[in-house]
Amino acid sequence: MKATSKNSQSVISQKKFKTTDSEVQGGSAPIRKWFLDENNTEWFGKCSMSSLASNTLLESTMNGTTSLILKNA
């Protein structure tokens, strides 16, 4: 599957997150982590199996807009 959209940038956060070492309990997603943003606000992040299996890229196009390219692995 391949799809592009100029709107994709608006759904992807511009925040910079860094992972913490805190342990995550419970949940069924394959990857679950705690993060801190630039303001040291705590976030919980998870990556689903389908997200792991896809190769999703942010590509900068010739005219400078950002597109989301979805390709199933």
Partner 1 sequence: MRLYALFGITTPETTLSFQSLSPQEQQKFASIAGNPKIPKIFIMSRVLEGFRVLGKNFLSAYKQNGSENSYFFRVEGEKVPLRGYGRVIVVSILVHDYDCVGNSGGNMGYIFRSESKYAEIVKIDPGEALSFAEDMTGVPELANPPTKREARIGTYQSPLQYSQLKPNDQKEFIQAAREILEMPDAKIIDVFQDFLGLDKRFGTILNALLRRKEELLSAFSPEVRTLIMNQIAKLKTQKAEELMTTWGKSMDPSLLVEEEPKEQIGLILQNARLEAFRFVHAGPEEPKFFQVPQKNRHFVEESRYYHRPKGVLASKAESLDAPLLAVLDLVNQT
Q: Which residues bind partner 1 (CB under 8 A)?
A: 1, 3-8, 10-13, 15, 17, 19, 26-27, 29-31, 33, 35, 41-49, 51-58, 68, 70-73
Q: Are 35 and 16 in contact (CB under 8 A)?
A: no
Collapse the DSSP code of 18 into the 3-class scheme (helix H, G, I; strand E, B; otherwise coil) and give the result.
strand
Q: Are 12 and 68 in contact (CB under 8 A)?
A: yes
Phi, psi of 8 (to 5 degrees): -60, -30
- At closest approach, how far in Å is the CB of 61 from partner 1? 14
- At closest approach, how far in Å is the CB of 62 from partner 1? 19
Residue 62 or 73 having the CB closest to partner 1: 73
